[in-house]
Structure 1
Amino acid sequence: MAATCCARLSKWYMITTNLLFACLGIAYIAFGVIGNRDGFKGATLFPDGVFKQVSILGAIIIVASILGMIGAFVKRKWILYIYMLIVIVALVYQIIIGVKIYQKGADPPAYIAPLWSKAKESYRAKLQTEFTCCGYNNAMDQPAITDKCNPQSGIISPDPPCYDTLKNYVDTAFTRFYAVLFAALAVEVLALTNAITVLCTRSIFKEEDEEERARRRKSGIRLDDMSADTPTTAGSHNNYTTDINNYYGNQGGGGAFKESNNAYSHDSYDAYNRQNAYQTQGRYY
């Protein structure tokens, strides 16, 4: 009974964990798609390819969660082994992305300065418009010429330089992003431990045997011995006489016991026939 309870709890625990896992994968895909389309402020400041990597990570997590839910119902160890392998791949891939973002966000000035100086004017103009700034350190430091920021023509922009604004954004946004990535590693670890728990539960308690025993309980058949020789099993025979014969045979008196037992069976059979004959004769009279 306890084994069946543990098996059921581990199954539903597996399903719940993988539903949470799937939600995490969907969130990653949504974030990757929106960021790849510059759907939020500052998306262009993220490293190249990071949004595609996050989308791929989300797809891997969703595949793993589907396999995990299948493994909760289909009792095949190889499904859980593949599930665990994919979870490990997702975990490592997520760490790589998190480290990449952490390295860029650890020193915002060192990341922003080459990004600004090597960028095209259209990219700098987009940042100036998005963050309402002009130039890098000041209005004369590599500004992108726009209607509001054109110091060469004598137009003095009221907007502040972009350095402080961009630095604060990278420091805040990147820190939040890699913090979420590293915190979400707990979900992968939870999924791994859950799969290991299910494997151990099935190995120790033999969930397949428990379900078979549950079906036998419903059928009313005894669970201590399911062989055809069990006296309580329908269509079986009793082995009591055979066991006694074997016992007395080992004690050296098996022959005498067998003869007396056979004589007793013969006398009982004759008495039974005489009784039937008497009853039949009585009906005729």
Structure 2
Amino acid sequence: MVNKILLTFVAADVLFLATGAVTLGFSLIARQDMTEDATNGREAVRQLIYQNFPFEAGVVNAVFIFVAFVLTLPGIITPTRGWLKLSGFLVVFCALFTLCIGVFLWILTLRMQDRFLGIWTDQNDTVRSLMQTSFECCGYFNSTTPAFITDDICPSPAAAALMRGCVGPVTSFANIFLDDIFTAVFGMVGVDALLIVCTTILLKDRRERERFRHIDEKSGYLRI
């Protein structure tokens, strides 16, 4: 008879492994993308946001996830509970680690407008012009604060004065981008929580099976 509890645990375990793969892949790809030259303003904003991301923590978290997954394999194959308990503790650690990363990313969105002012002023004219072009704006708060970069969107002070500042569209784009990222991270915490629940249920099921097996052995009847 198929053990539905074990199958559910395996499914949750595979999802857990997928979160580790996604975390590692995103951390490595985004960190590489951060060092390349931007071709448009939106890409430039993403690269600037990436500079605040804890990529090292993401890689470390992915390694912990892979280790926890490996520890679940003996627990799946063998009927003992020791490996499951050990992997369960590590999954809890991974969940807390992932939650901390998600909270960190959420905090970045709270003062994005003020934070991005310093980022904007630190950029060279080329990067600021890319952002002005993509978001159709001039300057940061307005065309003079900080001063706009002359380009096709802002060809002169008179034309720039009629354009909006970049603070609104840039920070809105940045916040939406960050919202998507930390929502995905919190979703991974949900997968961790699911695996923790499945581990608890599987441990309870095996404890019950072991108790019945001992009862059957004492009564002279071994359950198959």
TM score, norm. by length of structure 1: 0.60
Query: Quick one: which of 16, 19, 34 aligns to 2:29?
Result: 34
Corresponding letter in the other structure for 1:19: V
CA distance in 1, matches of 2:180, 2:201: 32
Query: Quick one: which of 51, 54, 72 aligns to 2:76?
Result: 72
- The correspondence of residues 182-197 of structure 1 with structure 2, limited to 5 A, is 182-197=186-201
1:23 paired with 2:18, answer: yes
Q: Which runs of no fewer than 5 residues in structure 1 stay unpaired?
A: 214-222, 227-285
* 1:87 Cα deviation after fit: 0.9
Q: What is the aligned partner in structure 2 of residue 246 from structure 1?
A: none
Q: What is the aligned partner in structure 2 of residue 180 from structure 1?
A: 184
- The correspondence of residues 121-140 of structure 1 with structure 2, limited to 5 A, is 121-122=123-124, 125-129=126-130, 132=133, 134-140=138-144
* 1:203 Cα deviation after fit: 0.9
Corresponding letter in the other structure for 2:20: G
CA distance in 2, matches of 1:66, 1:148: 56
**CA deviation profile, 1:153-206 (whole Å, cap 9, x unmatched):** 989779864322221112211112222222222111111111111111111111
**CA deviation profile, 1:58-102 (whole Å, cap 9, x unmatched):** 232222223223311123333112211211111111111111111
Counterparts in 2 of 1:67 and 1:207: CA distance versus 1, 3 Å: farther
Alignment RMSD: 3.5
* 1:116 Cα deviation after fit: 2.7
Q: Secondary structure at the match of 1:38?
A: helix
Query: Quick one: which of 198, 205, 208 aligns to 2:202?
Result: 198
Q: What is the aligned partner in structure 2 of residue 11 from structure 1?
A: 6
CA distance in 2, matches of 1:128, 1:50: 27
**CA deviation profile, 1:22-56 (whole Å, cap 9, x unmatched):** 11211111111121122682132145242332233
**155-164 vs 36-45, which deviates more?**
155-164
Q: Secondary structure at the match of 1:135?
A: coil
**178-187 vs 94-103, which deviates more?**
178-187
Q: Aligned pair count?
A: 207
Q: Is the 8 A contact 1:143 1:149 kept in 2?
A: no
Corresponding letter in the other structure for 1:106: L
Q: Secondary structure at the match of 2:33?
A: coil
- The correspondence of residues 262-273 of structure 1 with structure 2, limited to 5 A, is none
Instruction: Tell which has more relative contact order, 1 or 2 (C-alpha 8 A, sep 6+).
Output: 2
Greater radius of gyration (CA): 1
Corresponding letter in the other structure for 1:30: G
Corresponding letter in the other structure for 2:19: L
CA distance in 2, matches of 1:34, 1:168: 24
Q: What is the aligned partner in structure 2 of residue 98 from structure 1?
A: 102
* 1:207 Cα deviation after fit: 8.6
Q: Is the 8 A contact 1:57 1:94 kept in 2?
A: yes
CA distance in 1, matches of 2:69, 2:147: 48
- The correspondence of residues 138-157 of structure 1 with structure 2, limited to 5 A, is 138-142=142-146
- Percent of aligned positions with the same letter in both sequences? 17
CA distance in 1, matches of 2:120, 2:4: 55
Q: Is the 8 A contact 2:138 2:163 kept in 1?
A: yes
